[in-house]
Amino acid sequence: MPSFDTAHVKNIALLGHAGSGKTTLAECMLFEAGLINRRGTIEDGNTVSDYHELEKERGNSIFTSLLHTTWRGYKINILDTPGYDDFAGEVISALRVADTGVMVLNAVMGVEVGTDIIWQYTEQFKTPMIFAMNKLDHENADFANTLTQAKEHFGANVVAVQYPVNAGTGFNEIIDLLHMVCYHFPDNGGKPEKRPIPETEKATADEMHRELVEAVASNDEGLMEKYFEQGELSEEELKRGLKKAMINHDIFPVFCTSAANNMGSGRIMGFIDVVAPSANDMPPQQTLQGKELPCDPNGPPAIFIFKTISEPHVGELSLFKVYSGTIKTGTELVNENTGSAEKLNQLLLLEGHNRVNVNELVAGDIGATLKLKNTHVNNTLHEKGKQFELHPIQFPTPNVTVAVISNKGDEEKLSQALHTLHEEDPTLIIEVSPELKQTLLKAQGELHLQVIKWKLEHLYKLDVQFGKSKIPYRETIRSKAEAVHRHKKQSGGAGQFGEVHLRIEPWYDGMPDPEGLNVRGREEHALPWGGKLVYYNCIVGGAIDTRFLPSILKGVMEKMHEGPITGSYVRDVRVSVFDGKMHPVDSNDISFRLAGLKAFKEAFAHANPQVLEPVNKLTVLVPEDLTGQVIGDLQTRRAIVEGIDAEGRLQKVIARVPLAEMHDYSSSLRSITQGRAKFRMEFADYAAVPFELQRELNEDYVKHAKDED
């Protein structure tokens, strides 16, 4: 494959709601460029992009595929992304390295929820955007309505560069407002014939051309002056102005396509080549050290890992973008994150599942390499002697949590499989919880979990089940109580003896020392699970030797690991040891540890114990007409709605909701809103559970304790 300089490498991400036609459009691009001699289809499961067995099975993109093609002297790297929000991590990683986004709109359905959701990610990156209005050959296609919706959703910066003459059945003509010609396509699509604009379309074309010129001129003072002077801008001036406006996120051009019938893809590729920015047109990358890293092929070599793929029988494939310098086969770089040296023994271009070896990649290009020893997603690799790190991808936090259950004996195999899945998909979080005694999977949604389960079963041959994760409750107290416990054991020879008198109280920051006690020492312990234990030595007259106080504390802490009410961690308690007894022979550390544990347990039961539950802050983005249904559902989950704000065309519902009520929320919200809403959760704090729920939790804990006995 011929080499390309930085200015002639273009990186695009195909974006859009599931089913909008992204993969079919990618297939057209490859076909038109001559890289494939036959266009595959989703139905036949033979497209270059959706090559994974699971994608063929489901008929949708699930993973971002990297493709590349050439068009009239330019190289175009194509990142074909999934359209479901459950796979947002795939979209975000693609946007991190793309220089232009191509948002595919379904001309039948208009602007769908997936489009709105993905648009928010493009706004974060300020990605230059093109709209490709697809399926204009469908009998219900409506260009005007979809364009109006796009303007309503994404602003007046959405500007038509093309419009269809005859959208619907028989669609075969597009008016190009930049070239001011009519493209007439043959019945089987492909290369169109350029024709003069029909007389019946001239008035419409002139009016829409003027709108395009005014939109471009309004974003450039020099072009605005020329437009006022001449009443027109040349095609070259329009292209130059469009590029500048796209880089500034000021114009979003709209193109027309029928990907299924191979109409319009060549014109989009031509626009990407000539107008869409390359990496060196974009602002330089900012390092975490606050310096700029220009996209210069003569600069210091530096790459950024944005995705990994586990290749059976081969190893890990690392996908990267070259942000500076020229990378050649055998180049040795240093991983800024781990400090280890990595040698790039192979440089690869990807065509779906096919691999093409190349000798070098220049700044701005995207490629892959195999078998890096200690390199992961978000790592920066650079020339030895340099020290800088590029900003990492900020992946979304998980929305659903399940417990994974496997057959006995498969634990190590499961652990290795989950580690590999996390390497491939950083939005999947694995936690082995000693508190809950469960292995937890935290994912983006139900569809995400289905994909993970499929991989575990089909790729790793594991028989797994996903169950409900336990809730990490906490226990505390609401009043003061005292208890005495004497531990005495005699079994011939030296026995065990220890007696502890202690007081427990609810702890809060800034509270005064215990009343009526002689304070001789104070320890404050921040607990790993949140909250504090404050421990006072109030022993008078040597009733207990100070050497036994740490043992009493150990006993107290042991019980705080498994609270008396539900077996959950205890927090925010003050313990004052004020009296006791010891034996000159039989007293030892274990005696006072057990006495302290039992005294704490007895006092806890009389101190008005309270079970606390984790409460999350929930943010739901939902269309206005569905807000009522969303709020109604939340009220059944003991949620407290704190506010409703507008965010673009969506309503943002903010609520506090107990984690225990959110197990099935992802699927429930999808059902209520037909997939038109999205949500994010984050831990807020702990709050007291209702009395009835506390009683049920306690009864369940006692029952299980008896069963285990």
d(CA 461, CA 483): 55
d(CA 387, CA 381): 10
Q: Is 400-470 assigned to CATH 3.40.50.300?
A: no
Given a cut of 90, is residue 253 above it in pLDDT? Answer: yes
d(CA 483, CA 598): 9
Q: Count the neighbouring beta carbons within 10 Å of the beta carbon of residue 203.
A: 9
- Residue 316, SS3? strand
Cβ atoms of 625 and 701 within 8 Å: the answer is no
Q: Which of 279, 326, 308 is nearest to 373 (CA)?
A: 308
The tens digit of pLDDT for each residue in 189-222 reads 899 999 999 999 999 999 999 999 999 999 888 8
- Residue 129, SS3? strand
Q: What is the CATH number of domain 294-382?
A: 2.40.30.10
pLDDT for position 623: 87
For 289, the token pair is 């050290």
pLDDT for position 1: 46
For 580, the token pair is 């006791």
Q: What is the CATH number of domain 612-692?
A: 3.30.70.240
> Where does residue 433 rank: exposed (0-12), middle (13-18), buried (19+ CB within 10 A)?
middle
**Across residues 109-131, what is the average pLDDT?**
91
Q: Which of 630, 675, 635 is nearest to 652 (CA)?
A: 630
Given a cut of 80, is residue 493 above it in pLDDT? Answer: no
Q: Count the neighbouring beta carbons within 10 Å of the beta carbon of residue 236.
A: 9
Above pLDDT 90, what percent of the chain?
A: 81
pLDDT for position 172: 95
The tens digit of pLDDT for each residue in 681-705 reads 899 999 999 999 999 999 999 887 7
Same fold, 9-281 and 612-692: no
When pLDDT is cut at 50, 70 and 90, the band that residue 648 belongs to is confident
Show Cβ contacts of residue 551 under 8 Å, excluding neighbours closer than 6 positions. 589, 590, 591, 592, 593, 596
Q: Which of 79, 12, 95, 6 is nearest to 363 (CA)?
A: 6
Cβ atoms of 314 and 289 within 8 Å: the answer is no
pLDDT for position 120: 87
Under CATH, which architecture does the 9-281 domain have?
A: 3-Layer(aba) Sandwich (3.40)
d(CA 143, CA 131): 12
d(CA 278, CA 298): 16
**Across residues 214-236, what is the average pLDDT?**
89
Unique residue bearing structure tokens 């065309």:
649
Lowest pLDDT segment from 108-117, 162-171, 534-543, 572-581: 108-117
Given a cut of 80, is residue 649 above it in pLDDT? Answer: no
Show Cβ contacts of residue 39 under 8 Å, excluding neighbours closer than 6 positions. 27, 28, 31, 262
Q: Which of 465, 314, 300 is nearest to 388 (CA)?
A: 300
pLDDT for position 314: 74
The domains of the chain are located at 9-281, 294-382, 400-470, 475-607, 612-692
pLDDT for position 186: 94
Given a cut of 80, is residue 477 above it in pLDDT? Answer: yes
**Across residues 503-518, what is the average pLDDT?**
94
Task: Tell me the CA end-to-end span of the chain in Å, nearest whole number.
Answer: 71
d(CA 704, CA 701): 5
CATH T-level topology, domain 475-607: Ribosomal Protein S5; domain 2 (3.30.230)
d(CA 436, CA 172): 61
The model's pTM is 0.89
pLDDT for position 709: 46
